[in-house]
């Protein structure tokens, strides 16, 4: 595999319900009956953690899934799930999605910072927006926004969160028992943010976390999100139909980020359906499509076959100059996690079972506090 500043080809897993396919719950091995229990998430994410998977992406949305009444409906809140997982994992990065459109950035900042503390520096945040009338109606605070407006607001929200994460200097807690002073008040800062969508004074109620700035992930497959991804994202997810397109897109993202003086990691989404061989995987796909009553439309590059073939594909992707890693999106999650953790990831770069903060392990520098 090609040399990278992060030192390794990154492997992330997306933990979406019973799988990326909305009818995967009907499989006998789906564990759908456990979907809303802690054991389901603990079992799957700890297996990925033990196997050396680098990142656990936990999708979320304010809206119910739209595929129909016979598909998976409902989900647990991603930030709370990540908090539960922080206590039972040791290495894997925890990247919950938190939607900003109807959420105050102050609350997101302290929630993600708290996970960074409870995980000893392994937290991230995938930024998302809500741009449907259905989701706006759940709140009644404002009318539905178009995608461009929603992502413009998201950019402001990320700026607010970033400032709040820095509103305590690293040594603001002095804990001087002799004088009775716990905090050096001169090292707490009001952020005094005034924008189009938010007015936030601060400081945060949570001290600066182990990473200083938890990693920010952005799905750049939506055109409206690309400017934010390059300007603010650390982990930038892309989609592509083939490796040539993936490499070209990744190189462009790196070039645009470099023009802003930024270093990023570009991760290619790969839909995955594993079976004993290609024929078994094709049969599994046919079953899912029969239940759905429609062909499956891949989100990005689509692999189906056995674990050995997936390893070959990942090594090929690892040879691309622009792509720093992948986010695997299993169509059937429970059946895939153990195979990926046991048979695929260990064949790639050696991975320590523990380590420093996620930011350091992925090759990012610890950021200097902007108020110091």
Helix axes 147-165 and 105-118, enclosed angle (nearest 10)? 50
> Half-sphere exposure (CA, 13 Å, Cβ side) for 152?
8
The reply to whether 263 sits in an annotated binding site is no
Two tokens, residue 245: 């397109």
Q: Give dist(CA 266, CA 213) in Å, integer.
A: 18
* CA end-to-end span of the chain: 40
Rounded to the nearest 10 degrees, the angle between the axes of helix 307-318 and helix 243-259 is: 40
Strand blocks (E) in 100-143:
124-128
Distance separating alpha carbons of residues 233 and 124, to the nearest angstrom: 11
Tokens (6 digits) for 266 = 């570009």
> How far is Cα 68 from Cα 294, in angstroms, rounded to an integer?
12
Closest CA to 214 of 235, 200, 229: 235
Name the token pair of 275.
């079976």
Query: Was 242 annotated as part of a binding site?
Result: no
The HSE-up count of residue 195 (CA atoms within 13 Å, CB side) is 16
Phi, psi of 24, rounded to the nearest 5 degrees = -65, -20
The verdict on whether residue 199 carries a ligand-binding annotation is no
* Block residue for tokens 């993202």: 253
CA distance 298 to 133: 26
Instruction: Name the packing angle between helices 38-51 and 78-86 (round to 10°).
Output: 60
Where b means 16+ CB within 10 Å and e means fewer, 99-123 reads bbbbbebbebbbbbbbbbebbbbbb
Residue 186 DSSP one-character state: G
For 312, the token pair is 């070959």
Q: How many residues does the chain have?
A: 372
Annotated binding site: 60, 97, 221
Annotated binding site for FMN: 60, 97, 221
């Amino acid at each position: 595999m090609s040399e990278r500043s992060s030192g390794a080809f990154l492997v992330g897993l997306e933990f979406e319900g019973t799988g990326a396919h909305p009818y995967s719950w009907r499989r006998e091995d789906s564990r759908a009956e456990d979907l809303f229990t802690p054991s389901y998430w603990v079992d799957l994410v700890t297996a990925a953690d033990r196997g050396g998977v680098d990142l656990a992406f936990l999708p979320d949305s304010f809206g119910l899934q739209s595929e129909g009444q016979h598909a998976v409906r409902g989900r647990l809140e991603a930030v709370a799930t990540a908090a539960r997982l922080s206590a039972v994992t040791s290495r894997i990065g925890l990247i919950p999605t938190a939607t900003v459109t109807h959420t105050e950035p102050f609350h997101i900042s302290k929630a993600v910072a708290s996970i960074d503390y409870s995980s000893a520096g392994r937290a991230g945040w995938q930024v998302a927006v809500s741009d449907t009338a259905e989701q706006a109606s759940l709140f009644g605070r404002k009318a539905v926004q178009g995608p461009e407006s929603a992502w413009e607001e998201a950019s402001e929200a990320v700026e607010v969160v970033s400032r709040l994460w820095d509103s305590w200097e690293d040594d603001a807690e002095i804990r001087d028992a002799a004088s009775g002073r716990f905090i050096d008040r001169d090292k707490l800062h009001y952020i005094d943010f005034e924008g189009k969508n938010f007015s936030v004074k601060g400081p945060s109620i949570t001290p600066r976390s182990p990473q200083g700035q938890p990693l920010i992930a952005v799905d750049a497959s939506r055109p409206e999100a690309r400017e934010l991804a390059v300007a603010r994202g650390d982990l930038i997810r892309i989609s592509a139909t083939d490796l040539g397109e993936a490499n070209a897109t990744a190189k462009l993202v790196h070039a645009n980020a470099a023009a802003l003086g930024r270093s990023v990691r570009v991760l290619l989404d790969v839909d995955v359906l594993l079976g004993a061989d290609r024929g078994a995987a094709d049969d599994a796909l046919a079953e899912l499509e029969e239940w759905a009553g429609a062909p499956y439309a891949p989100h990005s590059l689509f692999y189906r076959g056995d674990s050995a073939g997936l390893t070959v594909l990942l090594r090929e992707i690892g040879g691309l100059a622009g792509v720093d890693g992948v986010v695997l999106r299993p169509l059937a999650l429970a059946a895939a996690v153990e195979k990926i953790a046991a048979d695929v990831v260990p064949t790639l770069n050696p991975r320590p079972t523990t380590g420093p903060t996620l930011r350091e392990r992925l090759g990012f520098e610890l950021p200097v506090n902007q108020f110091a």
